[in-house]
Structure formats: structure tokens, C-alpha cells
Amino acid sequence: MLKFAGFGFAVAALGVISVAAFSAWYLHRLGQDLPDYQQLAEYAPPVTTRVYAGDGSLVAEFARERRLFVPIESMPDHVKYAFVSAEDKSFYEHTGIDMRGIVRAQLSNIGNVMSGRRLEGGSTITQQVAKNFLLTSEQKVERKLREMMIARKMERAFTKDHILELYLNEIYLGNRSYGVAAAALNYFDKALTDLTIAEASYLAAITKGPSNYHPIDHEERAVERRNYVITRLNEDGVITDEEAQDAKSQPLGAVIAPPLGARDWTMEYFAEEVRKQIVDLYGVEALYDGGLSVRTSVDPEMQKEAGEALRKWLVEYDQRHGWRGPLSEIDVGGDWAETLDAEVERLRDARKVTDDMAPWRAAVVLSVSDADARIGFPDGEEAFIPVDLLWWAREYISANDMGDAVNAPGDVLTPGEVVYVEKYEPATMPKKDPDAEGEGRATPENAYALRQAPAVNGGLIAMDPHTGRVLAMVGGFSFQMSEFNRAVQAERQPGSTFKPFVYAVALDSGYNPSSIVLDAPFVAPSLDSWYKPGNYIEGRHYGPSTLRLGIEQSRNTMTARLAQDLGIGRILDYVNRFNLSEDLPRELAISLGAGETTLTRITAGYSVFVNGGKSVEPVLIDRIQDRTGKTIYKRDQRECAACNAQYWSEQSEPQLADTRAQVMDPRTAYQITSILEGVVIRGTAARTVGGKSNKPLAGKTGTTNDYKDAWFVGFSPDLAAGVYVGFDMPQTLGQGEAGGTVAAPIFADFMVDALEEEAGIPFRVPSGIRLVRVNARTGRPAGPGDSNVILEAFKPDDQPGADRTSDDFSLDPLSAAPTTNDAPDDGLNGLY
């Protein structure tokens, strides 16, 4: 028996030694290819690039992982300890591994296996850092052992605070949030330092599974888990009983953050343009992972006003031309709400229904009667469209033709049609005859108006004319439907908005605003035929007219005759200073806007008129800082050593150099400004712009052949803005749909809102300008009894009322004849 016992003991001892030897060998092998944990000493995670407006508000975020890095020293104690209490209460005591936690987890796993739930690992915060940074999430014994080995090494290499900093900046907390700082913003729109105990506890509560504690889908479960963390904080002595009770009484208050990108629909085109510029400057990696801080020029309030003005008047134009039909059709039998919900998702994929169209909603027509159409929404809610809100919806036939008048909803809608609708808020309904006396009937409850996304599109841009800083940019009706930015990318003929540049050449070449040019039928040679422009009213001419009237009334034939006198070569040389286009055609038709430009370029060109003749370059980005706060890009490169003085010792105010190029005589610039102000007061924009604002405004309408493009570009003393409206595939807007009808109202609405709080200062008059009372029609000095009198701007050598003679120029009238762009310069301004 002793021999048998001795043999058994020897075998057991040998087994123990073998297991120990195998374990040592196995652990040694695992330790040979452990990831390099030392890299965590210089932790630089991918961080969100944030784009800010000029007032510091957030415009957009760009990232692959939404994360903001915050040093542990800047984190409030109640945030740090919320996670410690929830995840690893002995974090500051153990050396990387908590054996009691492991045993507790294995006991819990007995029940987890039986119920099919996910297994627990009993990992400490240090182990989680090792797994998240250096290993995978696979549930294998080998991975767990490697995790434990790395955790022990990390505990010896790093401080506890450094490990906790890694954990709190890396952990995924749902809602596209990586790290606690991003989660604080995404769930509560707060900085970490502003989180309450209850809010910090919720963030700590969702580490086990963010989707399980979704603040909207599982609010009750989320509150219960949050309160559990609050209890743990209290038990660990981090907060008092009173603080715990108060925190538990708070509502959850968490929300779901908007997607990455622009934070508001009005900002989407602007944010996308900024995104492109950052990529051009620093590349894709810097944009999405670099944690850049980008300060832009945009004014959020002005941007909102621009977006709303453009949308309002595009819808107004669209409704003038009738109803083009529903988005789609479905079967409204059975569970129509479920069918509609699936159809709306299909329409989203096709970019026909988008989130940025809110408050418009997709609905299905359930039934129609003589009085209204009953509609339903994907959530099962029902409402109706009164016939009073359908008067506009005559059938669209063409840009110039519509179907019969609407007498009943059935003339427009059919059950099963999916359409856009909007809650109708006004107190009274529109009248079928707008000119009829009295008001429409009272708006019934739960009434919706029929809507359709306009087929036409457009853009609006506003900038500081003195610096070129873009204050608002809207590139279309809906970014989510079409990302094409019509304010920047659309190259179209500007029509009559080009005329002020031609007249500026004349004013710098011996003409003055009262100079007379003949408005009469005009013919000139063209490349392959004869060029015969006409006025807006075909066959109508006005005889001898002043230069001022040529712009105010947008006279085509007199502009072409003026351009012929000046010579196309002279005009092109002058206009190229304004950077309107890379390649303007060398032909007389450019005087009426036959060349192509973009809305941004021509608005910057108009800025030169109001800023005293200085060239400006449109800019969107003022400054860029890297993740450490170092400025790596600055728009304004001017140096100002005196600006950094720490004390005032009666020194004079620092003066910054004006580095803008002078591209035209400031006196000429003011003369054009004064004439363009006349366009708004007496000319083609008097009704649509001048009649809506009591602030000094100037500008010019523009319309191209067959009414394909409508423009208005103008300015106040300190704000320039341009509007373009047209179809992406050029086609007529319809008879009479000119710049003054289609684009000018958008400009007027925007400027009225943008300048509401601004003082109505007059346009600045430069030195060297004489203001003389003249007859507005003849341009001659006004007599005592004249009623149609204006103050005209003259240079010192100008003679009010004096006729030009042929001796003023030695130009051949055929100098306007075009040549090809590569023709040799013969010094004759394009003469054949």
C-alpha cells in the first residue's frame, strides 16, 4: 500500500509539474508576440474635425468615429468615478486583474449559458483598454490570457490616470459616440464639465450595451440602469445620499444626435464646400481623423434667412406652373400605414423623400370628396387637404400652359397617391380669386397643404463686399436631393447682370452717367452671321438715352451700341480684372451676358463696385487649428506687431495695411453703385426690391434668352448678395419669368431680413465725386421747375449735359467684330 501510495503521489506530482511546465511554456509562447503596449504612451486617436461659424456655433462635424479627446485632468470627478463605480470599483486598488471579479463573472456565466445571454469576462478597466486598443473581441481563452498579460504590463508601465484616460476617450457609447466627451455632446449637447451626476451616470450605464439602454426605444430600462450606477456612486462614497436622491429624480433627458456632417439643413451646401477645401489643403485623413478646428465665415442667422428665402420663392415659382403629379402610388387597401412606411423608405433610397424637407411630410391619399382629400401618414395618423388649398394645383402641361381650374380635390388627387404635404398654419384659407374682397374662410383643424419639390432650382450667396468673407451660401432647394452647388458650380450666362461691367468701361473711357447713347435697332457683324439684339419688349426702342437709363431700364440695343464703340478688346481687358470667367468669348454678345460665369464670381465682382474698386476673393475659411490648438492656416496673413502690446501708453491705434488690389477707379465704382441704386428705386427692380426695403440697396436684374436663367445681383453698403434661378438642364422658365420676377423677390426677402437690425447708412461717396442735380430722363442740369430730379455723380472733368462728339474716341465702329480666342493681337481691338 505504501508503494502504491508513493507511486500515486509521484504520478500526481509529475502531473502537476507537467501542467505547470506546460502552462509556463504556453504563457511564455503567448508572451512572445504580444502587441506593443508602449505605443499607448503616445495616444493620438482619430478625432472629429469640427467646423464652426463666425460666431463660434457648431456648423458641421466630419469623422469616421465621432470622438473628442479630453485629458484626464480636465474631466470632472463625478464623470470619472461614475465609470469606475459602474465598471471596476476596485480599479485604483488592483494591479490590472481583479480575481474576485473574475470569479463573480464565472458564477454569473452559469446562468448566462442557460439563458443564452452573452458571457461575462470579469474584465477590469485595464483589461478593457488592452482589448480595445491591442486585441480583438473574440471570446477565446487565448485572447483572454493575452489580455490579462498585457494588463499586468500596462499597470507597471502607466499610471492609473493614464489608463483611465485611454479608456474614457476610446470607449464606444452608442449614438455614433466614441469617448465620453463625444457622448456628452451627442446625448446631452453639453461639454463634459457641464454634465450632472444623473447625466454622467447614464453614460456610464450604457457601456455594457448602448442599444440595450437606448434613451428613446428603451427609456424605462435606461433609467433603471442609470439609477443603479447612481446607487453604486453613493455606496462608494463619491456622492451623498441627498445628491443620489436628487439625481435619481431627474428625467433621463438624453436625445439622439444628428448624423455627422452639417447640423442644419440650411448649412449643408456651405459645409460641403468647406469639406472640399479642407481636403484640398490637407487631405482626407486630416479631415476625418485629424481633429481639426475650423473657424469659417458663415453667419448662422443669415444662412437660415438665405435658405428660407430661396425655398419660399422656388416653391412660389413652381406653384405658378401647376401640379406635376405624385411621388408614387400604393395600394391603400388593408394595412395602408405599413405599406406607406415601406414605400417612404424606398423613396428615401431614391432621394425623392429626404429629412431636410421637414416640416414637409410624405402622406398617402386615402379618399377624396367634394370638400377635401383624406390623407394618412406612415405612423397611422390621419388628416385632410381642404379644396381651398388646392387651387394652385392645375395640371402642368408646359412652362407656359396649365390644365383647367381646380374645382374639387378629385381634379388633382386620386386614392393611393403618395404626396408631400405641410401643416397649414395661417388662420384663414386662401381665396380662389385672390382679388376678391374679404378674407378666406377660417382654417379647419388638422388641415394640410399639398406640396411638391420644385423642378426648378437655384442658389444664393451673400458676402462681405470689403473682405470677401462668405456669410451665407445656399446651393439649391435640397442638398439631400441634389448635392450640386448652384452657387459655386453652375456656370451659366449672366444676362443683363453683366451690363454694369460694360458701363464701367465706358465711365473709365470718357463717358459719364448723363452721356447720351442711341437706343435704336442695331446690327453688327458676327462670326457666321449678323448680330441683331433686341430690347426686352420686342420692337420697342426709346431713342437717345442716358447711360444711367441704359442700366436702370436694362436697354439691350443701346448697350450693344455702347460696347461696339468701346471695342470688345477693351471690354475684355477691363472685365478680366474682376475674374468673372476663365474664357469669355471675344464677341459683341458678351456685352449682354453671353459669356458664362458662376454666381459666386459675379457677386464678388459686384462687391468691387461698392467697396471702392478693390478686388476681393470669396473665402469660406478664416482659420484652421490642429488637434493641439496650433494655427496651421490663417486667411488674413497681414502682420500687426503693434497689435500685441500688453499695455497702453498713449500710442495710436495700430493700422493694418490694405493689401487688396485696386482694380478700378473708386469714383467709377461709385458711379456704377449710384446707377445700380437707381435700378432699385426707378428701374427694373423698383417693384420687387425697392418696394420692400427702406434701406439703401443697389443691384441689377438679369434674364437670358428664352427666359432660361433669372438673376439678381446687388448689395447694400456692407453686404453683397447674388441669386440665380434656372433648371439644371437648361430650358425656359416660362414667358415673362424674368430676373425681376423670379430672382429679385428672393434677394429682397433675404436682404430685408439680413439688414433688419442694421442702420440704414447711405452708400459711401469717395473724394473726387461731384453730386449734381440733373433731370433723371435727359441727364441735363435740373431747372427750378423740374420735378424728375436726381443727384447724379460726376467726376471733376465730367460736363453734365454735354454731348459726346466723335472726337472723344478714334475707334472704328467695327472694332466690336469678334475673332477666335487664339487670333493674333493686331492692336485693333478685334477688328477684322
Q: What are the helix (H) ranges across 321-444?
A: 336-349
The cell 469623422 sits on which residue? 63
Q: How many CB atoms lie within 10 A of CB 322?
A: 20
Overall residue count recorded for the chain in this entry: 832
Q: Are 174 and 206 spatial neighbours (Cβ–Cβ below 8 Å)?
A: yes
For this structure, is 87 an active site residue?
A: yes
The cell 393611393 sits on which residue? 416
Q: Are 328 and 347 spatial neighbours (Cβ–Cβ below 8 Å)?
A: yes
Rounded alpha-carbon distances, angstroms, from residue 471 to 281, 359, 464, 689: 21, 25, 7, 21
Q: How many CB atoms lie within 10 A of CB 398?
A: 11
Residue 820 buriedness (CB in 10 A; 0-12 / 13-18 / 19+): exposed
What whole-number distance in Å separates Cα of residue 145 and Cα of residue 33? 13
The 3-class secondary structure across 748-808, one letter per residue, is HHHHHHHCCCCCCCCCCCCCCCEEEEEECCCCCECCCCCCCEEEEEECCCCCCCCCCCHHH
Q: Are 667 and 795 spatial neighbours (Cβ–Cβ below 8 Å)?
A: yes
Q: In 3D, which of 72, 105, 74 has the Cα closest to residue 88?
A: 105
The cell 483589461 sits on which residue? 127
What whole-number distance in Å separates Cα of residue 814 and Cα of residue 567? 8
Which residues in 356-395 belong to E strands, given as ranges?
361-368, 372-376, 382-386
The cell 425681376 sits on which residue? 740
Q: Are 602 and 608 spatial neighbours (Cβ–Cβ below 8 Å)?
A: no
Half-sphere exposure of 752 (CA within 13 A, CB side): 15
Q: Are 82 and 234 spatial neighbours (Cβ–Cβ below 8 Å)?
A: no
**Cell output for 504:** 464701367
**Cell output for 453:** 419639390
Q: Are 265 and 304 spatial neighbours (Cβ–Cβ below 8 Å)?
A: no
**Cell output for 423:** 401643416
What SS3 state is found at 355?
A: helix
Rounded alpha-carbon distances, angstroms, from residue 182 to 49, 175, 226: 12, 9, 19
Q: In 3D, which of 357, 373, 353, 356 has the Cα closest to residue 365?
A: 373
Which residue in the list 87, 273, 587, 737 is annotated as catalytic?
87
Angle between helix 300-320 and helix 744-754 axes, rounded to 10 deg: 150
Describe the strand order of the beta sheet including 470-474 as a list of residue ranges.
470-474, 457-463, 719-726, 709-716, 698-703
The cell 379647419 sits on which residue? 444
Q: In 3D, which of 491, 541, 498 has the Cα closest to residue 676?
A: 498
**Cell output for 427:** 388662420
CA dihedral 787→792→794→800, nearest 10 degrees, is -20
What whole-number distance in Å separates Cα of residue 293 and Cα of residue 623? 8
The cell 453667419 sits on which residue? 299
**Cell output for 371:** 370638400
Q: What are residue 213's phi and psi, to 5 degrees?
A: -125, 40
**Cell output for 85:** 463605480
Which residue in the list 85, 201, 293, 496 is annotated as catalytic?
496
**Identity of residue 310:** L
What whole-number distance in Å separates Cα of residue 440 and Cα of residue 430? 6
> Which residues have a catalytic role annotated?
87, 496
